[in-house]
Amino acid sequence: MQSPDPIRSIVIVGGGTAGWMAAAAFARNLGRHLSITLVESEDIGTVGVGEATIPPIKLFNAMLGLDEAEFMRETRATYKLGIRFHDWRHLGQDYFHPFGVYGLKPELGHFLQFWLRMQAQGHDIGPVSDYSLCTLAALQGRMGRQSDDGAMATFGSAYHFDAGLYARYLRRYSQQLGVIRVEGLIADVQQHPESGNVQSVRLKDGRGIAGDLFIDCSGFRGLLIEQTLGTGYDDWSHWLPCDRAMAMPCAHGGAQIQPYTSSTAREGGWQWHIPLQHRVGNGYVYSSRFVDDDTAEATLRANLEGEPLAEPNRLRFQTGRRKKFWNKNVVALGLASGFIEPLESTSIHLIQSGINKLLLHFPDRSFAPANIEAYNRRQHLDYERIRDFIILHYHATARDDSGLWRYTRTMEIPDSLAHKIEVFRERGAFAHAAEEMFTPTSWMAVMMGQGIIPQSHDPLVAYEDIATLRDGFARMKDHLKQLADTLPTQHAYLKQNGMLA
Ligand code: FAD
């Protein structure tokens, strides 16, 4: 058996959300053993968007040991209990994708099956959203804390935050743990003449920075993974045709800070509304095939709920992913690794899952191909499952009022998604993999919200006594409603817990 030849230095290229998340996580977990240097350029700046997250971000912050109240103050964060979708299935329709589960048990269990049985027997016990504590609280602007006992165990939350402030907060954290920050523009990259591994990057002012392992967090350009290594890109825009976004923050229109993201389907894409403590993030994600920039800007401006605070930030992107996230001694994270539009706020999560996997597959200086392949396969699966979930929103629609919706509702979808829909439609079952990021609760919320209703139920629940079930549902509904009604408003909750900046 050979002894590994340990990595002694990591160089992170880029100081956006991805770069500083990586720096913080490596400093926390590996900082005692190796040197970590991060290079960023103020001349280039960061993408400047990305404000909504999903629940696993809490695990990332906990892994770093961050104090939640301090983090909330520093990043002007609010809570997010889910996403409210307007006009996605058809104009005038609304549904909520909650982060907690339905019913009174922390796992989805038989809730859906019992609910379907009641429908099959002709009992109208109300929509599934009546049984989601997160939905009931969110729609009243309320917030609570998840606990191990009772219905609060069914609660789940993530954050809306200012991603620029988050990166700055993690920068301070990382530098305190010894990460070296270098300000400068990388002008070129040196590779090993035989292996092709990246050996060092050279700045415009002539300084060189060498390392064993390079983390490419340089944003869409993919300075190392693409411009240097020519890794290649899988284009998914035939499934997800949006390729532009316009972001424009505005002042809060009303007194309440809603604890959810809103997503409203528009003619050529969709518009986000993300309330932070100090402002509201807004943006229109659209397809240039179906709507032009001027129309998109007019739509965005017409639908702001408060005074605009800046001119629009215009962005272009191509949905897809690198053919390899890890190539030679370069691992791409964040926008350098690929991009799936922000409909379910998954980009920051994919940074987190890339970091976690890299810690599990941490290399030595031999960069064993099997280890790299294992990382790439796992990260590819994460991307594909998230991709399918986003396609679902576009495909399962009854809208035919514009070119975009006529295209997405009739386009061919990946087999993996078609199978999931078929299995759910048959009896409300889930064709799910164990490591999947979006749980059955999320799939159920979006499938039913988009009009995919199971045609039958699990035959095993047909043995249950209907009267007992009906009483159980009535008690559960009352209990959840009462609980939601007694929670504090999000503003009161933030104040009580010292989370307001
Ligand atoms: P960037 O922020 O682009 O950072 C790149 C870094 O590389 C910068 O520091 C830059 O200076 C540096 N750099 C580049 N070239 C050089 C060079 N030559 N020399 C030195 N330094 C260099 N994600 C979510 O999770 N939730 C959301 O709600 C969300 N909304 C989004 C909305 C839109 C419209 C878009 C486009 C993205 C959204 N994202 C969202 C994604 C999110 O913004 C990114 O995943 C996140 O900001 C990470 O970006 P990054 O760090 O990879 O890249």
Tens digit of each residue's pLDDT (9 = 90 or more) over 403-413: 999 999 999 99
Into how many domains does the chain fold? 3
Q: For the sheet containing 94-98, what is the strand order?
A: 94-98, 82-86, 261-266, 269-275, 280-286, 244-247, 313-316
Same domain, 152 and 274: no
pLDDT at residue 441 greater than cutoff 80: yes
Q: Which residue has the higher pLDDT, 31 or 396?
A: 396
Set 80, 324, 328, 357: catalytic member: 80
Q: How many CA atoms lie within 13 A of 224 on its CB side?
A: 33
- Asked if residue 390 is part of any domain, the answer here is no
Say if 73 falls within a structural domain. no
Ligand 1 centre to CA of 12 (Å) is 14
Among 282, 316, 350, which residue terminates a domain?
316
On whether both 88 and 144 belong to a single domain, the answer is yes
Is 323 noted as a catalytic residue in this protein? no
One domain for residues 299 and 364: no
CA of 246 to the centre of ligand 1 (A): 15
Whole-number pLDDT of residue 433:
76
Of 285, 300, 316, the position where a domain reaches its end is 316
State in Å: Cα 223 to ligand 1 middle: 13
**In a shared domain, residues 31 and 92:** no
Residue of the CA atom closest to atom 4 of ligand 1: 16
Which of 20, 47, 51 has most ligand 1 atoms within 8 Å of CB, for mutation? 47
Cβ atoms within 10 Å of 54's Cβ, excluding its own: 23
Same domain, yes or no, for 359 and 214? yes
ipTM above 0.90 for this complex: yes
Query: Is 71 domain-assigned?
Result: no
Residues 304 and 264 placed together within one structural domain of the fold: yes
Ligand 1 atom nearest residue 201's Cα: 19
For residue 166, tell me if it sits in a domain.
Answer: yes
Confidence of residue 449 (pLDDT cuts 50, 70, 90): very high
The distance of Cα 230 from the centroid of its chain, to the nearest Å, equals 27
350: domain range?
9-51+162-233+323-385
Minimum mean pLDDT range among 108-117, 155-164, 202-211: 108-117
> Can you tell me the distance from the alpha carbon of 323 to that of 402, in angstroms, rounded to the nearest whole number?
33
Residues 219 and 344 in one domain: yes
Taking the model in full, what pTM does it have? 0.97
Residue 272 is assigned to a structural domain of this protein? yes
Boundary (domain end) residue, out of 385, 401, 423? 385
Task: Tell me how far apart the alpha carbons of residues 501 and 498 are, in angstroms, rounded to a whole number.
Answer: 8
Predicted confidence at residue 391, as pLDDT, reads 98
Residues in binding site: 15-18, 80, 335, 344, 348
Binding annotation for L-tryptophan:
344
Model pLDDT, residue 82: 98
pLDDT at 109: 66
What would the pLDDT profile of 311-362 be if each residue is shown by its tens digit?
999 999 999 999 999 999 999 999 999 999 999 999 999 999 999 999 999 9
User: CB–CB of 139/490 below 8 Å?
Assistant: no
Tell whether 25 and 173 lie within a shared domain: yes
Answer yes or no: do 470 and 368 share one domain. no
Residue 69 lies in a domain: no
Q: Which atom of ligand 1 is nearest to the CA of 218?
A: 7
Burial class (CB in 10 A: 0-12, 13-18, 19+), 198: buried
Compute the mean pLDDT over every residue in the chain, rounded to the nearest whole number: 95
149 and 166 belong to one structural domain: no
pLDDT tens, residue by residue, 218-277: 999 999 999 999 999 999 999 999 999 999 999 987 668 999 999 999 999 999 999 999
Q: Is residue 225 part of a domain?
A: yes
Q: Are residues 144 and 84 in the same domain?
A: yes
Kindly give the number of the ligand 1 atom that is closest to the alpha carbon of 348: 25
Please give the average per-residue pLDDT across 355-374, as a whole number: 98
Report how far residue 367's alpha carbon sits from residue 256's, in angstroms, rounded to the nearest whole number.
Answer: 52
CATH at residue 366: 3.50.50.60
pLDDT for 328 equals: 98
Q: Are residues 420 and 479 in the same domain?
A: yes
Q: Which helix (H) or strand (E) holds 125?
A: none
- Mean pLDDT across the stretch 96-124? 90
Q: Is residue 393 part of a domain?
A: no
